[in-house]
Structure 1
Amino acid sequence: MDIFFGVTVSDKTSHLDNFFREVEGEIKALINQNSAYGNSLKFIYIGIFYVSPEYSQFFKVRKPKYCYENIDTGDGQVEKTAVRFEYEMLLDFEKYKDLSYDEAKLSFLEDLFNSMDVLGTDAVRKKFKDFPADQFIADSKNLFQLQ
């Protein structure tokens, strides 16, 4: 499994891009160290929009989606299987704009983990049967010492 943050920031906020990459890197390291997250979900993509108000009209959060691949079942058959889950989040510009780096990172972590609730929905559990969403979220929170 792997995770990727697709980050869109406006020019006025680009100094905050570092902590998005820092958090992404730490979660990637967690995933690489832990094989208990199953084999069905190969990739989580989180689109993160942090843009100033004059640009926010161009960035609307779309509903979560599954991406499929054709998987060889081993008996000569090919099965279309969900392997990737994508969702987006829009961060509140006003909430972050005057925060220090550390305060913004902590606030982002809270918003990120709140957004990860979508991973534990029944629909996602049905698509990725062996992915322990609750365990993944708990491990990620523990990584950043959040409860």
Structure 2
Amino acid sequence: MKLVLAQYTSADIVKETDFVTGFSNDLKSHFNKKEYGDSLKNIVIGIICVSSSLEAFFKPRRPKYIKDKKHVKSEGFEYDIEKYLEYDLKLDFEIVKKASDDEAKKYLAQEILKSLDVIETMKSKIKDFDLINFKRDLENYFKEKGLI
């Protein structure tokens, strides 16, 4: 399972959201060798945290599931994706801006756990994904890190 966070943040909170890259790398490493079924191998969660002046440009997109292999060309990169789910999670700008690094990590962990309902709503497309064990493993990971 590949679990990755994509970051969309305002320039005025770059310092406050620096932790997202490391957070994503840790998640990716931890879940890299885990399997939860054959229909979902990649999850990309877009983390949106922008000031109110930019909200109109960064609206959460509808979840997108790609079952069959698809070749993608984007921003100078080319890659193949399959069994891939992408969805966005919007964080409260003011909470992140005022939070310490640890508080922001805890907030993000809680919001990621809440966002897993998206997978449940896609059950008709994502047929054999063990959401219960995935969620349990994610909760345990966050507990080990002291985030929940």
Q: Which runs of 5+ in 1 are unaligned?
A: 72-81
Q: Does 1:128 align with 2:112?
A: no
Counterpart of 1:50 in structure 2 is 49
Counterpart of 1:10 in structure 2 is 10
User: TM-score, normalised on structure 2?
Assistant: 0.80
Q: What amino acid maps onto 2:66 in structure 1?
A: C
Q: Which runs of 5+ in 2 are unaligned?
A: 71-81
C-alpha RMSD of the superposition: 2.0
- C-alpha distance in 1, partners of 2:22/2:139? 15
Change (3 A) 1:12 1:120: same
Q: Secondary structure at the match of 1:69?
A: coil
Q: Does 1:107 align with 2:107?
A: yes
- C-alpha distance in 2, partners of 1:27/1:49? 18
- C-alpha distance in 1, partners of 2:46/2:130? 21
Who wins on radius of gyration, i.e. which is larger?
1
Q: Does 1:86 align with 2:101?
A: no
Contact 1:46 1:86 survives alignment (8 Å): yes
Kindly tell me the number of residue pairs found equivalent between the two proteins. Answer: 134
Counterpart of 2:79 in structure 1 is none
Q: What amino acid maps onto 1:133 in structure 2?
A: L
